[in-house]
Chains A and B, each alone.
Chain A
Amino acid sequence: MNLVLSIAWTHVRHRARQTLVAIAGVMTGVGFSVMMAAMMEGSQDDFIKTLVDALPHISITDELREPTRQPADKFYAAAEFHGLTPDVRRPGIKNPMATIASLQSWVPGALTPSVQSKAVLRFAGRNLTISVIGIDPRTEADVSNLATHMKQGTLNSLYRSSNAILIGDRLAQKIGARVNSNITLASAEGSTMNATVVGMFHSGFRTTDETTGYVLLKTAQILERQTGIINEIRVRTQDPMQARLISERIGEQTGYKSISWQEAQEDLLSAITLRNVLMYTIVGAILLVASFGTYNIISTITHEKTRDIAIMKSLGFRDGMIRTIFIVEALLVGFVGSALGWALGYLMTRGLASLEFKTPFSDFNHLPVLYSVKHYLLATAVALLSSFVAGYFPARAAARLHPVDIIRGAT
């Protein structure tokens, strides 16, 4: 064995109890760091996955990127006008099918047209404002998980009767409607229609389940009193993380407002980032505390070994060699502690993942955790760095000892 390593190993081996305490400190630090990271990132991934699944990755609406310039502004740029009746723009995306065809040529993913509308739902004497979304059942399954969220009926149930509607289970519960119930929808445009509930869905998002209904495109267009109107194109990209870039490009190409899911949920994602900062701060603090144990053991060994250091220096051991011995001792504690910490972290993560708890939405659920090599490597890197720093200062002090001072003291 290498000389430095063999001396370092002998030192820590002969202080078994102190060494074990220091190793236990690092092990606990690494173990809890791994478990916390697995839990935090697991819940974060689960949350994002739910978010990504529930929403279109990109939503292209009929709002323009720049506000419409009025005709008078176009002709008389230097003049300012007041009191003119503004030019009314026809709502909806121009040539929606051509736009979709054009986007389909390069967007990696699926697209579907839809109509977003607001209406008052009347049933059994109750009036509720809901979002009515006109969809194409043939392509809807490509861009959303609505088909998998159906509790009663299917997307094709919309073809079952004229003016069919799918509503959220919470909305149904709220108004007391069931499948085949007849409801009334009144739009802001003044049109009123009777519709039949042909199915119910449960997305897991309370707002959606309480305030949303899906109808055929044609039904929504009638409700809006705009034949052929498409005011939203929804996109599901193959890689959800690329949505922001694709969305920007779509916006530039079409001139319409294009919002990725990341932009739509910016506040939540910021909160997640903040949570991650907090998590890594806590993890860092745990490992820092563990490093105090390592510092303690190396300081103690250095103090106890003052005479041995003097002997080694008098024999001709160089300062660098003495320093390395004590740093290696700290790193040994760090390595062994980290290795045991991996096992502890893994077992605790498995334990957490096996915990079952009830949710209002499903029978049983498990705490989402993420097993990632990155967590183990990160915790180990921080633990080794802490161990190195904890060992460096006593090691430097040891290397600076003047052998004559110690030898005189001993004699």
Chain B
Amino acid sequence: MTTALIEARHMTRILSGVVPVTLVQDISLTIMPCEFVAITGPSGSGKSSLLYLLGLLDLPTSGDVLINGRSTRTMTEEERAEVRLAHLGFVFQFHFLLPEFSITENVALPMRALGRLAPRAIVARAEDLLDSLGLGDHLRKTPDQLSGGQRQRVAVARALANDPPVILADEPTGSLDSVSTEQVFDILRDLVEQQGKAVVSVTHDLNLAARMHRQIRIIDGRLASDERSIGANA
């Protein structure tokens, strides 16, 4: 039996304060290899909060998140950081690249932090990744010298740097034009179909969501539906 890459068990996240706010309530789900999952729902429904919980950027108030079958509930912040570095890749709506570094250096950062590869191998892999995403001619450029779509492709390359089995994307096409949106979507789809990775993406775009393998709909922090698209056509 294949182990789930991510498994959420009765996960609830409540923001404490004078008036406690429930972001996510009692959500259980699993993410398996080669899944292309869309998380949809209205604004403020808890889509991004769910993604951050699945990506260990936030801690559930109750419940648990298992990564490769391993509970993260009792992990220290250092251990969770280690899991993020090695097993999860993030793509945000606003590329979030470090502005002073070249795009090659940006992609190399997670590899350098993990420290598994030699410096030359890191640079070679960063350049290969960028080249495979059509950015081979811009290796020495800084993010501000690229278009929005190109920056988002750099962000995808950075998410892939440590070859994680899961990519978590928070509205990756939210700030892109239609052409760039298609390019980024194709890249994400190829990651699933050609590289066997699981991609979980928060999106407002229902057309894009419909072209993914699975749609999870969140309303008021609860899991409203979890449907597999039969014959999803990219």
Which of A69-77, A175-183, A309-317 participates in binding chain B?
A309-317
Residues of B within 8 A of A14 (CB): 100
Interchain nearest-CB distance for A133 vs B (Å): 77
Contacts of A403 in B (CB 8 A): 57
Q: Which residues of B contact A404 (CB under 8 A)?
A: 52, 57-58
Contact with A along B66-79 (1 / 0, CB 8 A): 00000000000110
Choose among B58, B85, B98 the residue that contacts A308 (Cβ–Cβ < 8 A). B98
Q: Interface code B83-119, partner A: CB below 8 Å = 1, 0 otherwise?
A: 1111010101110111111000000011011100000
Give A337 Cβ to nearest chain B Cβ, in Å. Answer: 22
| CB-based nearest A residue for B119 | A1
Q: Is the CB of A315 within 8 A of B84?
A: yes
Given the complex, which residues of A lie within 8 Å of B203, measured CB to CB? none
Decide: A318 near B81, CB < 8 A? Known: A11-B100, A308-B98, A404-B58.
yes
Q: Is the CB of B113 within 8 A of A311?
A: no
Contact of B90 among A3, A10, A315, A410 (CB under 8 A): A315
Given A11-B100, A404-B58, A316 and B81 touching (CB < 8 A)?
A: yes
Q: A308-B98, A319-B77, A319-B78 are in contact. Are A314 and B48 (CB under 8 A)?
A: no
- Is the Cβ of A311 less than 8 Å from the Cβ of B57? no
Cβ-neighbour of A318 out of B58, B78, B92, B98 (below 8 A): B78
Q: Are A10 and B100 in contact (CB under 8 A)?
A: yes
Interchain nearest-CB distance for B184 vs A (Å): 17
Contacting pair A314 B112 (CB below 8 A): no
Not counting A315-B84, A404-B52, A410-B92, a sample of 18 additional A-B residue pairs whose C-beta atoms are within 8 angstroms of each other reads A10-B100, A10-B101, A13-B100, A312-B98, A314-B55, A314-B57, A314-B84, A317-B85, A317-B113, A318-B78, A321-B113, A407-B52, A407-B57, A407-B170, A408-B48, A410-B94, A411-B93, A411-B171
Residues of A within 8 A of B (CB): 3, 10-11, 13-14, 307-308, 310-321, 403-404, 407-408, 410-411
Q: Mark B155-188, 1 if CB is under 8 A from A, else 0.
A: 0001000000000001100000000000000000
B contact residues vs A (CB 8 Å cutoff): 48, 52, 55, 57-58, 77-78, 81-86, 88, 90, 92-94, 96-101, 109-110, 112-114, 158, 170-171
Contacts of A307 in B (CB 8 A): 96
> Which residue in chain B gives the minimum CB-CB distance to A406?
B96
Chain B residues positioned under 8 Å from A317 (CB to CB): 81, 85, 113
Most B CB atoms within 10 A — which of A10, A317, A408, A411? A411
In the assembled complex, the Cα of A207 lies from the Cα of B171 at a distance in Å of 91
**A310 proximity list for chain B (CB < 8 A):** 96
State A408–B99 Cα separation when bound (angstroms). 19
Give the CA-CA distance A317 to B88 in the complex, in Å: 13
Expressed in whole angstroms, the Cα–Cα distance for A404 and B77 within the complex equals: 14
- Bound state CA distance, A224 and B1, in angstroms? 117
> Given the known A-B contacts A316-B85, A319-B77, A411-B171, are A311 and B93 also in contact in the complex, defined by CB atoms under 8 Å?
no
Residues of chain B within 8 A of A3, CB atoms compared:
109, 112-113
Bound-state CA distance A10–B158 (Å) is 19
- A320: B residues at CB distance < 8 A: 78
Q: Identify the closest chain B residue to A403 (Cβ).
A: B57
- Complex Cα distance, B109 from A403, in Å, reads 17
**Cα distance, A14 to B99, chains bound together (Å):** 10
Residue pair A315, B109 in contact (C-beta under 8 Å) = yes
7 smallest CB-CB distances across A and B, nearest first, come from A316-B85, A316-B84, A3-B112, A311-B96, A10-B100, A318-B81, A404-B58
Q: How far is the CB of A341 from chain B (nearest CB, A)?
A: 27
CA distance A13 to B97 in the complex (A): 18
Bound CA–CA A64/B55 (angstroms): 88
Shortest Cβ distance from residue B73 to the other chain A in the assembled complex, whole angstroms: 17
Docked CA distance A10–B101 (Å)? 8
A377 CB, nearest partner CB in chain B, Å: 34
Question: Which of A308, A311, A312, A408 has the most chain B CB atoms closer than 10 A to its own CB?
Answer: A311
Across-interface contacts of B55 in A (CB, < 8 A):
314
Q: Which of B77, B78, B85 contacts A315 (CB 8 A)?
A: B85
* Distance of A320 Cα from B101 Cα, bound (Å): 21
Q: Which residues of A contact B96 (CB under 8 A)?
A: 307, 310-311, 314, 407, 410
Residue contact B57 to A316, C-beta cutoff 8 Å = no
Inter-subunit contact A411/B170 (CB<8 Å): yes
Q: Which chain A residues border B170 with CB–CB below 8 Å? A: 407, 411
* Nearest B residue to A1, CB-CB: B119
In the bound assembly, the distance between CA atoms of A316 and B158 in angstroms comes to 12
